[in-house]
Amino acid sequence: MSDSAREVLLDIQGLEVHFETRRGIARAVNDVDLQLYKGERFGLVGESGSGKTTMILALLHMIKTPGLIAGGRAIFDDGTDLLSLRGDEVRKNRLRRVAMVPQGAMNSLNPVMRIGDQISLTIREHGEEGTKQELAARVTQLLDRVELKPEVAMLYPHELSGGMKQRACIAQAISLGPQLILADEPTSALDVVVQRQIMQTLRELQLQLEATVLLVGHDMGLMAQFAERVGIMYGGKLVEVGSVTEVFRNPQHPYTQLLISSIPSFERRGIFKGIPGVGLSLLDPPSGCLFHPRCPQAMERCSRDEPGLTSLGTEGHVSCLLHEKEETHGTSA
């Protein structure tokens, strides 16, 4: 199904997240536009510091001082702008509309509360009523959906393995049936076997809930297996978006090409090479294309001209001067 035929669940427009420092303003998320479709699995990839986690935290109003959401909108399918919500509206929005599966399960669970009590408290705090017995039954049902036994409800976080803790966090996230699940590197601290099991569980739940999943991560191989579309972030900007098939088969942005070339393969042998240079400074970003100091395909005008968006048919877009005609290049820096 082409993107034009799919229903948009969330339309992110011009999202800006800044961090104010003594040395100036760091634009951690820099004018990002992105549409997420109903029932899709979208992967967001990039190096550390590229703005991936900051972007999803902004959608949940979890940006803390000195950070602030400096601009943009995030329009849900019912017309609600997530970024304009305030006070109790933010709380009501969480879990019911948007939920998050955190990266560090151990840091997200209360170490002195039993797992069942934590899930019950989450349900009550977000407006759901019920007797103690009814909530206990809901907790048992949620644990079953993430393949945990009922006895887990009586255990403390330190009594669980890493995979079990992550499953408990997923149970908490789906407790009110959200339409959008933000998964922030949910398998980063787990071994590869447990990673696969957790991602299978997340996929099954996504299909059952008919929810959209926005998966943040570094692992391009994991993205290839899980996501349907993928977005590549660099320096707070979304530099390429497309279907997983097209992005992996024919990446258009030099940064995407370098990320994909780092994936191990049984079919070819070679020497793995890292991306040249170091990550950019958000306090002192380069002029023109942010990636040009590290880009092996950089042209003279890449240091001068900021690339706009070039459509890649109906599947996505790329922000790179290699795909723009000289006379129609982006805004001068």
Q: Which CATH number do you get for residue 304?
A: 3.40.50.300
Q: Which of 177, 207, 237 is the last residue of a domain?
A: 177
| pLDDT-derived band at 118, boundaries 50, 70, 90 | very high
> What CA–CA distance (Å, rounded) separates 189 from 185?
9
Higher pLDDT, 262 or 233: 233
Question: Average pLDDT of 32-46?
Answer: 96
For residue 236, what pLDDT is reported? Answer: 95
pLDDT over 50 (residue 331) = no
333 falls within a domain: no
Count of residues making up the chain: 333
**254 vs 46, 200, 261, CA distance in Å?**
13, 31, 10
| pLDDT-derived band at 265, boundaries 50, 70, 90 | low
Residue 168 structural domain: 106-177
> Which residues, 6 or more positions from 147, have their beta carbon under 8 angstroms from its beta carbon?
167, 201
For residue 313, what pLDDT is reported? Answer: 73
The b/e string for 186-203 (b: 16+ C-beta within 10 A; e otherwise) is bbebbeeebbebbbebbe
> What CA–CA distance (Å, rounded) separates 306 from 295?
14
Q: How many domains are contained in the chain?
A: 2
For residue 329, what pLDDT is reported? Answer: 40
Are 80 and 182 contained in the same domain? yes
Question: Average pLDDT of 40-67?
Answer: 94
- The rounded mean pLDDT for the chain is 90
| 309: its two tokens | 């968006």
**Span 145-201, pLDDT tens digits:** 999 999 999 999 999 999 999 999 999 999 999 999 999 998 887 888 899 999 999
| pLDDT-derived band at 92, boundaries 50, 70, 90 | confident
Query: In this prediction, what percent of the chain has a pLDDT beyond 70?
Result: 92
Would you tell me how many other CB atoms lie within 10 Å of the CB of residue 140? 18
Are 200 and 258 contained in the same domain? yes
Question: Average pLDDT of 20-32?
Answer: 94
Q: Which of 133, 161, 177 is the last residue of a domain?
A: 177
For residue 130, what pLDDT is reported? Answer: 84
> What CA–CA distance (Å, rounded) separates 177 from 16?
28
| pLDDT-derived band at 266, boundaries 50, 70, 90 | low
Q: What is the DSSP string of 64-127?
A: PTTEEEEEEEEEETTS-BGGG--THHHHHHBTTTEEEE-S-HHHHS-TTS-HHHHHHHHHHHTT
For residue 327, what pLDDT is reported? Answer: 39
Question: Average pLDDT of 57-63?
Answer: 94
pLDDT over 50 (residue 3) = yes
Are 85 and 132 contained in the same domain? no
Are 172 and 190 contained in the same domain? no
pLDDT over 80 (residue 39) = yes
